[in-house]
Amino acid sequence: MIYLKTEDEIELLRESGHIVAKALAEVAKHIKPGVSTKDLDEVAEAYIRSCNAIPSFLNYNGFPGTLCTSINDVVVHGIPGREQVLKEGDVVSVDCGAYINGYHGDSAYTFRVGEVSDEVTQLLITTKASLYKGIEQAVEGKRVGDIGHAVQDYCQRRGYTVVRELVGHGVGRNLHESPDVPNAGKRGSGVQLKSGMVIAIEPMINMGRRNVVIENDGWTVRTLDRKPSAHFEHTVAIRSNGEADILTSFDYIKEVLRDRFI
């Protein structure tokens, strides 16, 4: 079942997305060598709760963190921990969700820790750009395959690979709703996009092969070849005016990172 949201519901989703965007910016202030991912998790949880919201991910199907913190070859769903300490040259995907007034927000950003190689920086730049290529297709009358094709084509032309086992998704009263939003696909295929649909678009792009493996914890998804991966995500409302309505934002992160913002 795909739920079409009213204007009032979309504004509530925008509020949730705003909290997530600000939480990611708070996390951005603390990303540096020597900081543990548990430290980042505590920062995010404290901020979300200060907004009278609830962390969407905490205890979701048993997940133990407020954030998914995925370092280097971890694609997504990395579990925050004291032993997971950021090092110079790392990259870390931080995925965050917040629930307030009955609706979830969901967004992710991959951060550089200190000085990162040009090769890995280019992976991040490409992955983030592919997110916006997908968002350009998120308008009424298009199909989810148009989004996936845009992401896939942009990244593969630049020598990267697209993770297939994990996808974007609908967002609303539930953190994950229909439809699935793959990051690869054929133009004109899949579910048709209608005004009022709200979806999370989240490219997960690898430097090496596209194959992934799930660790024994049941959550952590790594690249099989252990090469770096990047992940960026926005929550988007489908509109009838030919332009997607992005309900989350990286603007607050930009204010923190300034010239280090990708």
Q: Is residue 79, in this structure, part of any structural domain at all?
A: yes
Those residues whose C-beta lies under 8 Å from the C-beta of residue 59, and which sit 6 or more positions away, are none
Q: Is residue 2, in this structure, part of any structural domain at all?
A: no
Q: Is residue 19, in this structure, part of any structural domain at all?
A: yes
Q: Residue 43 belongs to a domain with what CATH number?
A: 3.90.230.10
Residues 252 and 24: beta-carbon distance below 8 Å: yes
* Closest CA relative to residue 3, chosen from 234, 170, 235: 170
Q: Is residue 60, in this structure, part of any structural domain at all?
A: yes
Rounded to 10 deg, the angle between the 144-156 and 118-136 helix axes is 150
Q: Is residue 1, in this structure, part of any structural domain at all?
A: no
The total number of structural domains that make up the chain = 1
Q: Is residue 212, in this structure, part of any structural domain at all?
A: yes
Domain of 214? 7-260
pLDDT in tens, the chain (262 residues): 999 999 999 999 999 999 999 999 999 999 999 999 999 999 999 999 999 999 999 999 999 999 999 999 999 999 999 999 999 999 999 999 999 999 999 999 999 999 999 999 999 999 999 999 999 999 999 999 999 999 999 999 999 999 999 999 999 999 999 999 999 999 999 999 999 999 999 999 999 999 999 999 999 999 999 999 999 999 999 999 989 999 999 999 999 999 999 9
Residue 19: both structure tokens together? 């909290």
Q: Is 159 in a helix, a strand, or coil?
A: coil
- What is residue 78's DSSP assignment? P
